[in-house]
Amino acid sequence: MPLTTMILKMGEGLGNTCSIFILTLLFSLPLGLLVALLRMSKSKIISGITRFFISILRGTPLMLQLIAVTYGPYYLFGLTVSRNKLIPVVIAFAINYAAYFAEIYRGGIESIPQGQYEAAKVLGYSKFQTFFRIILPQVIKRIMPSVTNEIVTLVKDTSLAFTVSFQEMFTIGKQIANSQTSFMPFLVAGVFYYIMNAVVDFGMGKVENKLDYYK
Amino acid sequence: MKKKVLVLFMAFAMILTMGLFTGCGKTETSDEATTFTMGIDAEYPPFSYIGDDGEYTGFDVEICKAACEKLGWNFEVFGVNWDEKLVQLDADECDCVWSGMTILDSMKEAGYVISEPYYDNTQVILVKDGSGIASSADLAGKTVAVQLGTSGEALLQDDLADLAGTFGELVTCDSFLKCFTELDSGAVDAVFVDAPVADSYVAENEGFKIIDEGLGAEQYGIAFRADDQEMCDKIEAAVAELVEDGTYAEIAAKYPDIENNLLFLQK
Amino acid sequence: MLEMNNIEKSFGELEVLKDISIRVDKGEIVSIIGPSGSGKSTLLRCATGLETADSGEIIYEDGASFGLVFQNFNLFPHYSVLQNVMDAPVKVMKKDKAVAKEEALKWLDKMGLKDRADAYPYQLSGGQQQRVAIARALAKDPDILFFDEPTSALDPELTGEVLKVIKSLADLHIAMVIVTHEMAFAKDISDRVIFMDKGVIVDQGTPEEVFGSDNQRTKDFLGRYNNI
């Protein structure tokens, strides 16, 4: 197979890889914040349940969760499996990453000194204003390195979508590799991932620089 | 006027009802616009793989495509995850699994409709030239690789467990390519593998030798969902026509590695 | 203007405030002195709603408003000096942005920090940060301003500048309640001094009365300071 054909073919899957990546971030970052707030809820029941779900999502392989989300509804309720695999794949990824992000947010929120809340309270900020104007911006700066780590991992984790036959870049690469008994597709995949992560690094570096105006 | 409205209404209701019924499954009797989705392992040359042009091809794919043309069905390919092929078949993601698939008793017991076998397969031992291994007996104490989830792996755990017991170590790889690479690099001494896969590898790569002792004879067939006997019959009939008019042999000629073991050409 | 009646507060077994009652009048400057753990800070935290008293009542007459200056400043690090001062007036009091900015700059000017309006807290010395915190509290137009040991976290050479600006606020006729260990400052600035120990008010009165008190506990406490 000519290298150009191989790159084009895998490039088709790259669109799907990017879709998983972008949609997962889009959903899991806010969802993670919600989960973190539930986890820190004063209600023992709510925080207990949330903690349990987080432990399941972090304690079982993402591959298993992909299978559960994709085929679970069919086995449990006889529902048709979505033809568009992007939907279950993104749901599974978003939920899984939300659990990880939630713990990162929690660590960040708990690291903000109590004095910040007290100052905001005395100045008359509402709880909502306090969180979104005073606390969250500081949390975001503090958790940036951990979030970058997670995002880099996500780029590489997209390859797990092959489990449910989602034609993302690595799935196609693997198929070509075994069809053509060649390791070339793995090399191409490696280059693709590296480029994607270089872009992520660059972007996150820019964001971190932007947040560097204060300490 | 009233009558016209009534007729229109009834016609609309009929169309709706028909739509509902035909919408229940693409396996309905009306052949027109039926789309047949073939489930393949795209990593299994020469039966099903990605060709030089980047499209799905292989002996099974070409036969299925030709059969669909005969039936006037739209033809589609779905790449299954081999470890979950039957789950994906059940879940309606494809209408059959047709991809150099070994017929297992467990499949029949589970209720799947299985076609007539079309291919005789054996497991062979692939070694490097000059390895000094000439028969399965020479594998004693050696490191042998096998692909995860293949019938070769199942055999070594079951019918050929005694043979496997003599190995120094049994390594499981998740693809043929990795098995062969391990062999090439000297990490393993032999690969236990389906004959056609070994044949096509040896045809393209020098320095390897196949030891064929007719181990683990098995047959390939097509799996359909439990309630799709009718679909299976139609596909079998279409394939029979292809055999009849010579198309089958024509396609087979493109795959010399497996040509000799195709059952329909031996009759 | 502020009335606190029969305030009780315990943390677990520890009784921190035992039946405390105080009154602060309009424009009055009150210093609260006493050893560590006497309950001074807890009293301020109860008055500002950061702690809830177990019993007793707190009344701000005629809807009087308050501000609080913390020991550790608690500036918002992600806001510039100007934003720190004007954000609450705009977001909480819904003041016009331009008006709030003008007022903020006025307060910063009074604190001698107008030229640092665009700096961020980390770029300032502790004394400067505390002065920003005072400007931030003043920007909310409080009727009463609480100071919780405003110089305790500062290096000795920086306490002077902060005490000086607090003193300069006296002519604003804003009531001030200052918890402090700076005895000379308390004596100098206060209309009234309250000496607390072990959760009760031991002594109170004009600075002259308290600093010249016959009360043995007051004498013992003040005896530890030799620079009054």
Q: Quote the minimal CA–CA distance from C10 to chain A in Å.
A: 20
Contact B261, B119 (CB under 8 A): yes
- Give the residue extent of every domain in chain B: 21-119+219-265, 122-218
pLDDT confidence of B84, banded at 50, 70, 90?
Answer: confident
Question: One-letter amino acid identity for B136?
Answer: S
Distance, CA of B11 to CA of B5 (rounded, Å): 10
pLDDT given at position C227:
59
- Is the pLDDT at A63 greater than 50? The verdict is yes
pLDDT given at position B32:
55
ipTM of this model? 0.94
pLDDT given at position C226:
67
CA distances from A61 to A145, B257, C7 (A): 24, 40, 56
Give the pLDDT mean for A2-14.
92
Of B9 and A36, the one with more pLDDT = A36
* Equal CATH topology for B21-119+219-265 and B122-218: yes
- Is the pLDDT at B38 greater than 50? The verdict is yes
Q: Quote the minimal CA–CA distance from A126 to chain B in Å.
A: 50
pLDDT confidence of A78, banded at 50, 70, 90?
Answer: confident
Q: Which two tokens stand for residue A28?
A: 């899991």
> Across the interface, do A171 and B79 touch by the CB < 8 Å criterion?
yes
pLDDT given at position B175:
85
Q: What is the pLDDT along chain C (228 residues), one digit of tens a residue?
A: 899 999 999 999 999 999 999 999 999 999 999 999 899 999 999 999 999 999 999 999 988 999 999 999 999 999 999 999 999 999 999 999 999 999 999 999 999 999 999 999 999 999 999 999 999 999 999 999 999 999 999 998 899 999 999 999 988 889 999 999 999 999 999 999 999 999 999 999 999 999 999 999 999 999 888 655
Chain C residues touching chain A at CB-CB below 8 Å? 48-50, 66-68, 70, 72, 74-78, 87-88, 91-93, 120-122, 136-137, 140
- How far apart, in Å, do the first and last CA atoms of chain C sit? 30
Computed over every residue of chain A, the mean pLDDT equals 93
Contacts of B185 (CB under 8 A, 6+ apart): none
Q: Which fold has domain B21-119+219-265?
A: D-Maltodextrin-Binding Protein; domain 2 (3.40.190)
CATH number of the domain located at residue range(s) B122-218 in this protein:
3.40.190.10
Which one of A122, A133, A214 would you mutate to disrupt binding with C, by most C Cβ within 10 Å of its Cβ? A122
Q: Which of A23-32, B31-40, C44-53 has the lowest mean pLDDT?
A: B31-40
Distance, CA of A54 to CA of A100 (rounded, Å): 8
pLDDT in tens, B44-77: 989 999 999 989 999 999 999 999 999 999 999 9
pLDDT in tens, B144-195: 999 887 888 888 988 888 999 999 999 888 888 889 989 998 899 999 998 8
Q: Which of 3.30.930.10, 2.40.33.10, 3.30.413.10, 1.10.3720.10 is the CATH number of A3-214?
A: 1.10.3720.10
**Of C87, C86, C117, whose CA–CA distance to C104 is shortest?**
C86
> Across the interface, do A5 and B54 touch by the CB < 8 Å criterion?
yes
Contacts of B173 (CB under 8 A, 6+ apart): B145, B146, B147, B148, B179, B182
- Is the pLDDT at A6 greater than 80? The verdict is yes
Q: Which H or E run contains B156?
A: helix B151-157
DSSP letter assigned to residue A82: P
Distance, CA of A187 to CA of A3 (rounded, Å): 11
